[in-house]
Amino acid sequence: MLAKIHSTHNRAPLGGCLASRTGVTLAYLSVSVVVVSDDFGVVPSVILAVLSPFSNSVLAEPKLRANFGIAAPPNISTATTMTTISRSGPKISPKNTAFSFDVRNATVVRDATQRYSGPFHPPIRFDKNSGVSEMSKAAVRDSLSVALTVGAYGVAFGAASVAAGFSVLQSCLFSLLTFTGASQFAAVGVMGAGGAAISAISAATLLGTRNALYGIQMAPLLRTKGLRRLASAHLTIDESTGVALSQAPRGTEAMRTGFWVTGTGVFIFWNIFTLLGALGAKSLGNPASYGLDAAVPAAFLGLLWPRLENSFLRTVAAVSIVFALVVTPWLAAGLPIITTVLVAIVVGWRSR
Amino acid sequence: MTGTAAWTVLIVTSVLCFAIKLVGHTVPQRWFANARLQRINALVPISLLSALVVAQGLVVKTHVVIDHRLAGLVVALAALFARAPFPVVVIAAAVTSAVVYHVH
């Protein structure tokens, strides 16, 4: 028969990976019947099995007969659903198991969360039977509220981009392809100020370097490969990293959920609102007459503000502002922005 | 701004920003363990954003100019001190600036 091992972690917030380490899995597992595998190797069996309740005589394979449990819809999410296909009988053959338990030692042999592959479906469960989903649900709630709020800033970017002289299409492509707010603002800001392309690119790229540090923090948590790694890299921004880290008390599964849901959510909302902002600015005309030329620096101020956590950082900001003002008359348009990075380098090199 | 410049900025920025993100997910953690590098990296956004506020709010081409935008910035600053959310800050600045622009 086909067997599904559905883990319900009533107390343990983490996925099977932690359970395997602690070696107390069986305490959290209730083994129920039936199904499911994301393992392509067993897909034909699953299809046969799905057919079998309705043709439970001649067409069904003998070992699949009378197995009504198979009619349950396959659970595609694999966050906590571990799967196996094994023969009934006294012996479990290791060859046939996509996933198996080492019963004697009561440990999970393989972690179902690592089986997942495919770039755009984060491993989240919403069903009520799992303790993990409670944690994940809380993480999803946090993520969506952040995603919607932050995504709405896209209006400001779309408008700023159009005001700087980019087309609606280019503005939308910025949000789709660059997808890191401060860098996008910087690129269009420098171009809007009449700067050269190289200044815009370097300012945006320098602002994007912090995403590399975020990636370093997120990589061991997400452990993505191939296409999924490309997706996780693209979604690595302030917000997805921030929400993921903030979910630490709820466990690694909630952290992963936080990353994927926030990243995907911000991506969707950010792009929708960019389009709205760009179209809005396009239809409004002269940026100065409705205050867009002040909205852009105000947006930068709004991005800067939360970073000024202590008096040292506030001093760095003040020095940078003075420095930018002083060098402005002496340099070509756009260059003062990138030159001000010198302040960060000098201070960072010498401080402490 | 020419069309070519716009497309160049769009494409090169996107490629570089994605490459940076991918590097973070790929390279060994110890490569970025250098304390000095981390300090500078934490300060770069602060310097750049400060300079962008100046360039966008107080500068026209290569001249420091005080105009309606400064009124918007002052209101934005007040809103931030009052812990207003981001959209409120931006809208307040825009409205103030637009009013000053039309009155002036």
Q: What ipTM did this prediction achieve?
A: 0.88
Chain A partners within 8 Å of B52 (Cβ): 185-186, 189-190, 203, 297, 300, 337
Chain A partners within 8 Å of B11 (Cβ): 177
Strand ranges (E), chain A: 2-6, 81-85, 101-102, 107-108
pLDDT value at residue A132: 59
Mean pLDDT of chain B: 90
pLDDT value at residue A131: 55
Cβ atoms of residues A352 and A312 within 8 Å: no
pLDDT value at residue A352: 62
pLDDT at B14 over 50: yes
pLDDT value at residue B37: 83
pLDDT at B2 over 90: no
CA distance B82 to chain A (A): 12
B104 at A interface, C-beta within 8 A: no
**Closest Cα in chain B to A327:** B62
pLDDT value at residue A236: 95
Chain B partners within 8 Å of A192 (Cβ): 56
Hey, are the CB atoms on B13 and A316 less than 8 Å from each other? no
One-letter-per-residue 3-state SS of chain B: CCHHHHHHHHHHHHHHHHHHHHHHHHCCHHHHCCHHHHHHHHHHHHHHHHHHHHHHHCEECCEECCCHHHHHHHHHHHHHHCCCCHHHHHHHHHHHHHHHHHHC
**Mean pLDDT, contiguous 10-residue spans, chain A (352 residues):** 40 36 32 33 40 43 45 45 44 40 35 40 45 78 85 87 93 96 90 89 90 88 92 93 86 92 95 95 82 85 89 95 94 83 90 67
CA distance A85 to chain B (A): 34
